[in-house]
Structure 1
Amino acid sequence: MIKARHLRLLLGAPAVVLIFVFMILPITNMVEMSFRVPGTVEPFGDDYTLMHYTRVFGDSFYWGILARSLLTAGSVALLCLIVSYPIAWHLSKASGLKAALLYALIASPLMTGVLVRNFGWMIVTALNGPLNETLIGLGIISQPLRLLFTQGLVIVALVHVFVPFMVLPINNALRNIPDNLVEASVSMGASRYRVFRDIILPLSFPGIQPGLILVYVLAVAAYVTPALLGGQMVTYMPTMIIAELTGTFRWPLGSALAIMLSLSTILVVGLFTMLTWRLMERARA
């Protein structure tokens, strides 16, 4: 028994070391850095101060950028759910070659480099790009639309790449719904709408909840897509953090902004988890 316990501890040691080195230490260093005074010849000084948090939490400019980041992430998560649920439904019913092709199509956005994917969006949505030329040729618009460097394009591009992270957990939840449960409901006179509302949707929530949380967290922390497709016209918190860390080399202020974003994300995810707890319990019952 003792040897088995030691063996389990030994097998778990590499994971503990990795978490400590690549998660706990960086976060601790970031928190400590956020209290440092600005440096003169270096990114930070030796003394400690609360000035960065006073500036960050007391300036409406930063609150506006934070609100834009959180609302954008929420919009991406919601749109991913709307787009992904029908896809996950068809995927859960597919098998063999059809299932393999659907999996490949769903994962295709992840198989393209992030820079290549975003430059593709830039080409398509340019003023003289294929999308504007097509809309003008069809007579839908009379002059090109400014699609590039807008919040709408950032949301669409993030939905494009994060759909797989929503489809897969929902697909797994749908596959776990017993077919005889649906068949029994139909045989008792329940309409398709009632079957979906009262059985399929609640039982698929164990896939919806983690999918929403995962996509939300990924969208909040996204940097490359908002930086390239949002540009200087639409600023998000991750792009501002990177600008402070690598552009102006104000590491303490950038760390304080990162802490602000992290705490806000944890708060939103925690509230969402609490509000949906009963739905999860109902699905497990």
Structure 2
Amino acid sequence: MTRLSRFRILLALPAVGLIFVFMILPITNMVDMSFRTTGTTGPFGDAYTLGHYNRILGDGYYWGVLLRSLVTAAMVTLLCLIVSYPIAWHLSKARGTKAVVLYACIASPLMTGVLVRNFGWMIIVALNGPLNEVLLAFGIIERPLRLLFTQGLVILALVHVFIPFMVLPINNALRNISPTLTEAAASMGATRLDILRDVILPLSFPGIYPGVILVYVLAVAAYVTPALLGGQMVSYMPTLIISELTGTFQWPLGSAMAIVLSLSSLGVVILFTAMTWKMMERSRA
């Protein structure tokens, strides 16, 4: 082993140590706890059981909550992609002060605390809030709409905060597309729609892919926003997990639910990767 190789290993050791301590060990402990029996004097017992997984997988209620969590995350991801792509396109063309202002606007949802941001949504959509007052004033509705504690509001709030995670990778991919490619396509008679479909979209997929994965994983694991804006009316897997861990102190059951959610999310990511593999290979060609 050369001196350079040893130096590289030494540089990597702190990162490997952090990953081991703060990622591998907690996950291993959670997997072990998910098979433990329910404790009588502690959070878990000494024996092992499959009962928690049988309870989750055999109960239609848990299946419904899991499906709602996965579908909601997929809807948030799709809406983020639809909204973010035009924003990323304009951002990739911006220069100077305009680019700085656009970056600041895009990052603005991340500059506000999650509690402040969600309480802001609660005030806006309240029965006597600004949104209902405006709709009533213009005669669009006859009585206030109940928007709080609905799945639609949860999706809207998550889209609001996750847009930067979709815009930035797509913007980076769009900036790497050479203008000569679009000019060449136009010179050969391709319309703007043809250029978008056959040139820009495939070449920007290396930015779409990480954006989709990142937003989906963040959305499926979101807790604070669904808990505050969904309340008891709309249940999601993360809220149930936290309820079991901190409310009833059923740590083994909560750990099993977390493992089921993680594996389900991983399955969706793998499925998306398999479905878009050819497109990714095409963008690299």
TM-score w.r.t. length of structure 1: 0.99
Q: What's 1:248 paired with? A: 248
Structure 1 residue 184 displacement after superposition: 1.2
Q: What's 2:25 paired with? A: 25
Question: Matched residues in 2 for 1:187 and 1:270: separation?
Answer: 39
Q: What's 1:184 paired with? A: 184
Q: What's 1:227 paired with? A: 227
Question: Matched residues in 2 for 1:205 and 1:3: separation?
Answer: 39
- What is the one-letter code of the residue matched to 2:142? S
Q: Secondary structure at the match of 2:74?
A: helix
Q: What's 1:199 paired with? A: 199
Cα deviation code 1:109-136 (max 9, x no counterpart): 0000000000000000001100001000
Question: Matched residues in 1 for 2:115 and 2:175: separation?
Answer: 35
Cα deviation code 1:87-146 (max 9, x no counterpart): 000000001000000000000000000000000000000011000010000100000000
Cα deviation code 1:9-40 (max 9, x no counterpart): 10000000000000000000000000111111
Q: What's 1:109 paired with? A: 109
Q: What's 1:268 paired with? A: 268
Q: Secondary structure at the match of 2:37?
A: strand
- What is the one-letter code of the residue matched to 1:138? F
Question: Matched residues in 2 for 1:162 and 1:198: separation?
Answer: 27
Is it true that 1:48 corresponds to 2:36 in the alignment? no
Is it true that 1:57 corresponds to 2:48 in the alignment? no
Is it true that 1:214 corresponds to 2:217 in the alignment? no
Question: Matched residues in 2 for 1:201 and 1:34: separation?
Answer: 43
Question: Matched residues in 1 for 2:88 and 2:277: separation?
Answer: 23
Question: Matched residues in 2 for 1:270 and 1:192: separation?
Answer: 33
- What is the one-letter code of the residue matched to 2:170? I
Q: What's 1:6 paired with? A: 6
- What is the one-letter code of the residue matched to 2:184? A
TM-score w.r.t. length of structure 2: 0.99
Structure 1 residue 3 displacement after superposition: 1.5
Question: Matched residues in 1 for 2:190 and 2:52: separation?
Answer: 59
Question: Matched residues in 2 for 1:187 and 1:56: separation?
Answer: 59
Q: What's 1:122 paired with? A: 122
Structure 1 residue 190 displacement after superposition: 1.1
- What is the one-letter code of the residue matched to 1:180? T
Question: Matched residues in 1 for 2:50 and 2:166: separation?
Answer: 39
Structure 1 residue 47 displacement after superposition: 1.1
Figure out how many residues of one structure are paired with residues of the other and give that number: 285
Deviation larger for 203-212 or 113-122: 203-212
Structure 1 residue 222 displacement after superposition: 0.3
Question: Matched residues in 2 for 1:154 and 1:42: separation?
Answer: 35
Cα deviation code 1:198-229 (max 9, x no counterpart): 10111111111111110000000000000000
Q: What's 2:146 paired with? A: 146
- What is the one-letter code of the residue matched to 1:250? Q
Q: What's 1:81 paired with? A: 81
- What is the one-letter code of the residue matched to 2:135? L
For structure 1, the 5+ residue unaligned runs are none
